[in-house]
C-alpha cells in the first residue's frame, strides 16, 4: 500500500475526560512514545501530540500497518480496552490532512478559534524533528498547517477574539455569580495555563485573587508577568492555603500535576470553617486536579473540562468566521494533497515499492512450490512476513532518499536497495529453513 497521512487519536468530542486522561502524555512521555513508534511497522515519520483535550498520533506510512503499530503500543503501554479503542478515530489521506489543518486553526478545539493550540502543535512538531522522527512529508504537512492557521486568522473574523479554556472558565464564573469583582478567588498553579487564567481574571475586574503554588516565587513571577498588583492579587505559601480556601467563593485549578491535588479529604477538612458557604470549583487540568468525590459535599459545585465543554458548546455555534475558515481549510487540504502526491521522490518510490512487491510475490510462490503446501494459517503468516520485509526496505529507502541530492538519487537508490536487503537479513528463498509440521 502506498504511504499516506494517518491520524489516530481521541479528543473532547469522542472521549469522556476520564478516558482522555488515561492517554494523556507529558512532554517526557511523548518523547518515549515517539522513540517506540519510530521503530514501528508501517511508520516512516511520526509526531505525537497530547493536550488536555486530545491525544493524537500523526503518522506518514502504510495505513494498515501504522494503525496496527499504534494499537499495539496503546495495548502494551496503556492496557487499552476495546471500549476505549472505540473512542479513537482513524483518519486517512485527505481526511487526515483536513483534520490536521482544522486542529491547527482551532476549529476542532473546545473553544473554537483558540490560539494556544497552534503553539502546542508547533512544540510537538519540534520535539519530533529534534528526535529525527519527521522528514519531508510530515514537515511539509505541519509547516502548511501552521501557514493555514495564519491565513485563517488574517482573512476571517475567527481570530478577532481571544478564546481559550481559561477565558471560558472565567466566563462561566461570571455566568454563575453575575460579577466576580467582589468574590474571593483562589487560583492554584503558576505555569502557562495559570498565567492565561490570571490574565482573564485581571481583564474581567477580579479584585480579590490569591495565587497558590508549591514554589511561591513562581506565583510572584506570574503576577509580575500579568501586571497584577496588590491588594487585588496576592500570593500565599502553599502550607497556608487552607486559610484562603476556607474563605473562597471560586477556586480555579490550573496545574500540570499528574494527580489529584484537591481531594475529598481536603474538602472535608475545610467544611467546618466554610459553614455551608457556596463554593465553585473549576478544574482545568488533565489529568484532573480535583477529585470528583468533592461533588458529594453540600453547596460545592465542581466543573471539570467536560462540564466546561458543555457550557461553551452553544457559543461555539455562533463563532463568526468559522464557516469561512472551514472553506479555507478544505481548499488548502486538497491543494496540499496534490502537491504531496506530485512532488519529491514519489514516482521513484512508487516504482520501487511495486518492484519489491513483485519480487516478494515471486519468491513466495517459489518457496510454496519447493517447501509447501502449507496449512492456511501458516501460509497467511508467511505472506505477512514477506510484506513486512518489503515494507521495511521501502521505508528505509524512503528515509534515505530524503537526504540524497536529486542528481545522485537513482545510483544511491540501487546501492541503498542492496544495503537495506542486507540489513534486513534477506536471503535467497532456498536458504529458508521453515518447518511446516
By annotation, the residues acting in catalysis are 52
Q: Name the phi and psi angles at 61, rounded to 5.
A: 170, -160
3-state secondary structure of 293: helix
Amino acid at each position: 500500500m502506498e504511504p499516506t497521512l494517518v491520524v489516530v487519536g481521541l479528543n473532547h468530542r469522542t472521549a469522556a475526560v476520564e478516558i482522555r486522561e488515561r492517554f494523556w502524555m507529558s512532554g517526557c512521555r511523548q518523547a518515549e512514545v515517539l522513540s517506540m513508534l519510530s521503530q514501528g511497522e508501517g511508520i516512516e515519520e511520526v509526531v505525537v501530540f497530547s493536550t488536555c483535550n486530545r491525544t493524537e498520533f500523526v503518522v506518514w506510512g502504510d495505513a494498515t500497518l501504522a494503525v496496527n503499530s499504534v494499537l499495539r503500543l496503546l495495548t502494551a503501554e496503556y492496557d487499552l480496552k476495546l471500549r476505549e479503542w472505540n473512542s479513537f478515530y482513524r483518519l486517512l489521506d485527505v481526511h487526515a490532512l483536513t483534520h490536521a489543518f482544522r486542529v491547527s486553526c482551532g476549529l476542532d478545539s473546545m473553544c473554537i478559534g483558540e490560539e494556544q493550540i497552534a503553539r502546542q502543535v508547533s512544540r510537538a512538531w519540534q520535539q519530533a524533528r529534534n528526535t529525527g522522527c519527521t522528514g519531508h512529508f510530515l514537515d511539509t504537512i505541519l509547516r502548511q498547517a501552521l501557514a493555514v492557521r495564519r491565513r485563517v486568522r488574517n482573512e476571517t473574523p475567527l481570530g478577532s477574539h481571544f478564546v481559550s479554556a481559561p477565558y471560558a472558565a472565567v466566563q462561566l464564573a461570571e455566568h454563575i455569580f453575575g460579577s466576580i469583582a467582589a468574590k474571593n478567588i483562589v487560583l492554584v498553579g503558576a505555569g502557562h495555563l495559570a498565567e492565561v487564567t490570571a490574565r482573564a481574571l485581571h481583564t474581567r475586574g477580579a479584585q480579590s485573587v490569591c495565587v497558590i503554588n508549591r514554589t511561591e516565587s513562581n506565583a510572584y513571577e506570574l503576577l509580575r508577568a500579568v501586571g497584577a498588583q496588590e491588594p487585588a492579587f496576592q500570593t500565599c505559601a502553599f502550607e497556608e492555603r487552607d486559610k484562603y480556601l476556607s474563605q473562597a467563593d471560586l477556586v480555579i485549578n490550573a496545574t500540570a500535576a499528574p494527580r489529584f491535588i484537591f481531594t475529598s479529604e481536603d474538602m472535608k477538612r475545610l467544611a467546618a470553617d466554610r459553614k455551608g458557604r457556596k463554593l465553585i470549583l473549576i478544574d482545568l487540568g488533565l489529568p484532573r486536579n480535583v477529585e470528583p468525590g468533592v461533588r458529594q459535599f453540600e453547596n460545592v459545585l465542581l466543573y471539570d473540562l467536560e462540564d466546561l465543554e458543555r457550557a461553551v458548546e452553544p457559543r461555539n455555534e455562533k463563532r463568526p468566521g468559522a464557516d469561512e475558515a472551514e472553506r479555507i481549510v478544505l481548499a488548502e487540504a486538497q491543494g496540499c494533497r496534490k502537491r504531496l502526491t506530485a512532488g519529491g521522490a514519489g514516482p521513484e518510490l512508487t516504482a520501487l515499492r511495486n518492484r519489491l512487491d513483485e519480487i516478494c510475490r515471486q519468491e513466495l510462490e517459489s518457496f510454496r512450490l519447493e517447501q509447501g503446501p502449507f496449512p492456511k494459517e501458516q501460509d497467511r503468516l508467511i505472506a505477512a512476513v514477506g510484506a513486512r520485509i518489503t515494507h521495511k526496505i521501502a521505508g528505509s529507502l524512503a528515509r534515505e532518499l530524503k537526504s540524497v541530492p536529486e542528481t545522485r538519487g537513482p545510483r544511491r537508490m540501487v546501492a541503498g536497495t542492496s544495503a537495506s536487503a542486507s540489513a534486513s537479513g534477506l536471503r535467497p528463498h532456498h536458504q529458508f529453513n521453515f518447518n511446516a509440521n
